[in-house]
Structure 1
Amino acid sequence: MMTNTSTDHAPTPARPSSSGASVLRPLAYHRLLLSPAQGTRWWRPLAVVGATVGLYLAFVLPLLILTVVAMEGTFGDRWIPTPELSDPSNPADMVVGLGMIALMVPAAALGMRWAGRAPGILHSVRRRVRWELLLRAGVVLLPLYALVNTAQFLVAPPADLAWPTVNAHTLLLYVLFVLLVPLQCAGEEYVFRGLPLQVFGTWLRSPLWGILIPVPFFVLAHGYDWVGQMDIAVFAVCLGALTWKSGGLECAIVLHTANNLTLFLLTTFSASSTLEQGAVDPILLLISLPVTLGSTAWLWWWVSRRYGVRALEPVVEVARRGATSE
């Protein structure tokens, strides 16, 4: 269970430095909107959510218009999307379906920047994407999930399992998967982890509110049976906890991408099964849950060691200086 440390409190002027400037107590990720630089009011998180929704609608509307136009065959047969936008062998479906979720990234980031007056805080406590953290975690997690998801795929092989034909169409799908799936995962992390943590963290001291409240909404966004939804719920809690612990979204994005990208790549071997939602064989939980929990535990340990924080303490922002005293 996560404990509240001194980093969870609103910043107050601390001891003056030798230069005469006060040093503000560094904040954890979920409390960043309380920084004096933002001039936070109780309503500001609501403004951030409203701005994010408005920006997302503005971004996604042109894509939806292009989708309707494409359904008429305007851009050629290859680019005719299906009504469900869920066929992994259809490039148009992948562009629209994944692209709509990817647009959550600029919507959330700009909503926080403009309405929250807090550029960069959705990324991490460093107010930027920590690429070194993201890439180093990816080197470990991508091969792991490639192995695990392939093993799950082979436990109950689909009837249409076959080697993919190497042609321009298949190569195009691979390119789209590699480009769009990480953005799709990032979009979900910004909306289901980053925003809730910082919105609820403005009003409530404990990070648990921002971690747990979004979980049922994330679960309902997937169409699995109770077995699959249990897996999704555990996954969501782990991603939220990692976001708090690591002080940013990078670890959650990498873990989410490692899972989703390998699943999308496997669709070229059997489009009928790997993205199919619905009934899930309970035996698969014996593989997926230990891997999710084990990956989370490793990331938790690695982040603690990398940043020199205790197990139940989060990574916080770099100490900032306040106004120079008179």
Structure 2
Amino acid sequence: MTSPHPVPPTPLTSAPAVPMQAPRPLPADATTEGLAFHRLIFARRRSGWWTPLATGLLSLAFYIAFLVVVLVVTVIAAFADASLLGELEAMTVNPTFDLTDPFLVSILLGTIALMLPAYVLASLIVNGRRVGLISSAAGRLRWRWMLLCTGAAVIIAVVLTALSLLIPTDAPASTPPAENPLWLATLIVLLLLVPVQAAAEEYLFRGYLMQAIGRWLKHPAFAILLPVPLFVLGHLYDVYGQIGVGIFAVAAGWLTWRTGGLEAAIALHVVNNLLGFLLGLAGGGDPTATDQGVFSLLSSAVLIGGYVAVVEWLYRRSRMPRTLVLTVPAPVAWAPPVPQPQP
């Protein structure tokens, strides 16, 4: 009887060690009082110092691409209709809002509105997930809050407009509806595009620029005030009009920081622009006039000041959070080797 041959021991292999993963460093305000609106970029997937520059350049590239597409489509339509070609030539010479021509109004408002999708796409690509943080600290556009702010802006604007009609002014009038056969088409274009156009400007000047500056400079005053000159230069008014635009920009920036989102600024911008266009469509004033005057400046200042006061009162009653507190992720522990039988 033979004894069985001894079976050699099965060699064991170890699983590769899992290295320690250090948590991403966060600024002190992210884990204490919370990130204010202009600092929300630190809550995104990528928040390096270079990301605001990359987002801006990519937004510009997308915007130019969108403009090229619109230009090509418009030129094709213009060759099909000779009258449109003449309107395009007139617009290149004097790019003003002619409320008797809904086609030109849609082109001018639409090209501004294209800034919004360009910025959203660029931010999604560069900064990654949680793109809703470009709207508010809640990670989304707070629609109920924006509708509440819109209602407040509408009430204040209607009251001030009614009072201003009692005061005679030398403001230039626009074409009355009786002499504008396309006023209904222009009205539809305004109601559809002005909200998007106004929101696009807010996402650019109070959204992108405030969060870009907040990535490099912590104090909110820098994020609120530094974009103001750029916003003023984008509006071709006289000195009174430029002062009014500057007041608007400061108020919109402060409201965005104070409430933790763009909703209050968007509501004011939409109501202000719609009011001007609708008054012009009704023949009550020229929204494209560059000479604003002292009365227009005072009316704008009262509207903005009253709106800021009402929004502050509403915000305090809402108990709505305005910052985002982050937690430091726990490091992944090292995994010990696990014996694996080898066949």
1:40 aligns with 2:44: no
- Counterpart pick for 2:231 among 214, 218, 221: 218
Which residue of the partner structure matches residue 156 of structure 1?
169
Per the alignment, do residues 53 and 160 of structure 1 end up closer, same or farther by CA in structure 2, a change over 3 Å counting?
Answer: closer
The 5 A counterparts of 1:44-63 are: 44-63=51-70
Structure 1 position 92 matched with structure 2 position 103: yes
Letter in 2 for 1:29: F
Query: Does 2:269 correspond to 1:256?
Result: yes
Superposed displacement of residue 323, structure 1:
3.2
Name the residue aligned to 2:143.
131
**Which of these residues, 93, 111, 114, is aligned with residue 122 of structure 2?**
111
Residues 1:31 and 2:27 are matched in the alignment: no
Give the whole-Å Cα distance in 2 for the aligned partners of 1:69 and 1:117: 37
In the other structure, the counterpart of 1:306 is 318
Deviation at 1:184, TM superposition (A): 0.7
Identity %: 32
Maintained 8 Å contact 1:263/1:275: yes
Amino acid at match of 1:117: G
- 2:296 matches 1:284: yes
Shift, 1:159, TM fit:
6.5
Mapped to 2, the partners of 1:254 and 1:78 lie a distance apart of 35
Q: Please say which of residues 168-177 and 94-103 is displaced more in the overlay.
A: 168-177
For 1:230, the equivalent position in structure 2 comes to 243
Q: Counterpart amino acid of 2:57?
A: G
Deviation at 1:85?
Answer: 4.9
Contact kept, 8 Å, 1:31 with 1:201, in 2: the verdict is: yes
CA deviation profile, 1:186-205 (whole Å, cap 9, x unmatched): 01101111111100111111
**Paired letter, 2:294:** P
For 2:198 and 2:212, the matched residues in 1 are separated by: 20
Partners of 2:116 and 2:139 in 1: CA distance: 15
Deviation at 1:88, TM superposition (A): 2.1
Which has the higher Rg, Structure 1 or Structure 2?
2
1:75 and 1:133, CA in 2 relative to 1: closer, same or farther beyond 3 A? Answer: farther
* Counterpart residue identity of residue 34, structure 2: P
SS at match of 1:223: coil
Q: Would you say the 8 A contact 1:134–1:250 is kept in 2?
A: yes
Selected match of 1:74 from 81, 84, 104: 81
Quick check: 2:173–2:280 contact (8 Å CA) kept in 1? no
1:160 Cα deviation from its structure 2 partner:
5.0
- 1:209, distance to aligned residue in structure 2 (A): 1.3
- Deviations 1:59-99 (Å, cap 9, x if unpaired)? 22211223334444638669944412521221111111000
**Alpha-carbon distance in structure 2 between the residues aligned to 1:112 and 1:299:** 28
Query: Counterpart of 2:280 in structure 1: which amino acid?
Result: T
- Structure 1 residue 245: deviation in Å? 0.9
1:294 aligns with 2:331: no
Retained in 2: the 8 A contact 1:30–1:198? yes
Distance in 1 between the 2:242 and 2:189 partners?
A: 27
Question: What does the per-residue CA deviation read over 1:222-256, in whole Å, with 9 as the maximum and x for residues that have no partner?
Answer: 11111111111001100011111111111000001
2:42 and 2:153 map into 1 onto residues whose CA distance is: 33
Aligned runs of 1:10-25 on 2, under 5 Å?
A: 10-12=29-31
Confirm whether residue 323 of structure 1 aligns to residue 329 of structure 2: yes
Cα offset for 1:291? 1.6
> Which residue identity does 1:289 align to in structure 2?
A
- The CA distance in 2 between the partners of 1:73 and 1:88, in whole Å, is 23
Count matched residues: 301
Q: Answer yes or no: is 1:188 the counterpart of 2:201.
A: yes
TM-score of the superposition, structure 1-length normalised?
A: 0.82
Post-superposition Cα deviations, 1:145-171, rounded to whole Å, max 9, x if no partner, equal 234346546632657567523997222
Contact 2:152–2:310 (8 Å) recurs in 1: no
C-alpha distance in 1 between matches for 2:85 and 2:319 = 48
* Alpha carbons 1:79, 1:91 under 8 Å: kept: no
CA–CA distance in 1 between the matches of 2:156 and 2:306? 11
Q: Report the 3-state secondary structure (helix = DSSP H, G, I; strand = E; otherwise coil) of the residue aligned with 2:127.
A: coil
CA distance in 1 between partners of 2:170 and 2:244 (Å): 20
**Unmatched runs of 5 consecutive residues or more in structure 1:** 1-6, 15-24, 310-314
Say whether the 8 Å CA contact 1:228–1:280 is kept in structure 2: yes
* Aligned counterpart, 2:16: none
Distance 2:162 2:287 in 1: 13
Runs of at least 4 residues of structure 1 off by over 6 A?
none
